[in-house]
Amino acid sequence: MRNVKSKKFTLIAAAIILVLSFTIVLAAQGKDITWFSIFEGNSYKLQLENGIKKLEKTDTAILLGTEDLKALLAEKNKAAEVYMDLNTDKYNVDEKGRIMLPISEEKSYDLGKVFFMGSNGWTARNIDIAIDDSKYLSATNAKSYQSVLKDQAPDYHSRLVNQDNTLPDGYNNENLVTIKGVQAIISNKGMRLDKVTLEALKIMLDKAAADGVKGFVLNSTYRSYSEQKNLFDYRFNERKASGAANPYEEASKVVAYPGTSEHQTGMALDILSVEYPKGSVFSQSKEYAWLKENCWDYGFIPRYPEEKTEKTKISFEPWHYRYIGKPLSLYAKQTGLCLEELVESFQKNKLTSFKASDGDVYLFMLIKKGQDFMLEDGLTMDYTLTELTEEDNLIVIKK
């Protein structure tokens, strides 16, 4: 009996020594050990701040949850806000939001790109995942970074201009050109537009003409500060004479106060038609119907839609069109947002992914003026920088 007990004790002691030895070896490798994890043997795992997570797998793939990956990247890069742009063309994602990583001998995966938002701006790097001999998945160390926005002036065409977002004192668009060569009647000689806006307008009206719509009239384009002031004063006095309780507010609904008018940018214009030369009936014209459907494809938006008057604080103006450029105009069409709402959406969401109707995919990233955009060495992106407000710019990345 004593020999039997002695053998049992010896076996138990040997098992304990074996487990402790295995634990010490793993601890020496820097692993966060739990007793359960010791017996996980053949499982793929993640080392997260709150412990070890075992990953499910199929016969051919490791199933890595997107939220688990985000947590891993946040810990690795010491970032509170993490936005992933996964390479879904290369790796499938199942119905539970798990990335299916093929089990292979390579033991490394390029899953796409990750963006971090910090006090200094945005940082972007590749998502490179490696698997060690113990089947732990980990994010590899980043290379060094380079600044890409240093001394870069933002494009101005998407700038929000309204009562709350006024033009800078002394603002002057130096790229104004006289309107020529457009398939439209020009109501006044010497009318001018921003050069980029005019080129887009020419292309748009050429396409309208090809579609059989040719009766456009350009009624009002660029206005100087003094011209805008004279127009506002006229409407103000008109409302005052009619006995309006608040003539300033009433005038502001139909004419923007100087410094708050898009016409001063040279990127806005009023379009009417030969058949319907008055704004009050322009919405009945075929020209309006064509513009409402197609202007977005050329970088323009109907600036003051009927259903957005509460947001824009401007009465419905079917004749007023604003150039903001693509792909923002395409995003406005798809979402149904006016320019005020677009800006608010970008300010709220920080990073927005958008797939245009032509299949092109874009990322919109809000960045404060004075902040930077850092790219991992070797990483290149097709991007532009555009201005939204006095405080905010937008990085537009084409994937």
**Residue pair 45/135 in contact by the 8 Å Cβ criterion:** yes
310 is catalytic: no
**Residue pair 31/48 in contact by the 8 Å Cβ criterion:** no
Class of residue 381 by CB neighbours under 10 A (exposed 0-12, middle 13-18, buried 19+): middle
Run of H or E residues at 352: strand 351-355
One of 49, 56, 306, 317 is an active-site residue; which one? 317
DSSP per-residue string spanning 96-160: TSEEEEEP-SS-EEEEEEEEEEETTEEEEEEEEEEE-TT-EEEEPPP--EEES-TTPPPB-TT--
- Show Cβ contacts of residue 75 under 8 Å, excluding neighbours closer than 6 positions: 48, 49
- Reading the block at residue 123, the tokens are 């940082």
The DSSP symbol for 330 reads H
Count of other CB atoms within 10 angstroms of residue 47:
18
- Show Cβ contacts of residue 356 under 8 Å, excluding neighbours closer than 6 positions: 327, 330, 331, 334, 362
Distance CA 198, CA 195 (A): 5
Class of residue 137 by CB neighbours under 10 A (exposed 0-12, middle 13-18, buried 19+): buried
SS3 of 272, please? strand
What are the two backbone dihedrals, phi and then psi, of residue 107, each rounded to the nearest 5 degrees?
60, 30
DSSP lists the bridge partners of residue 309 as none
For β-strands 351-355 and 81-86, DSSP reports them as: unpaired
* Residues involved in catalysis: 317
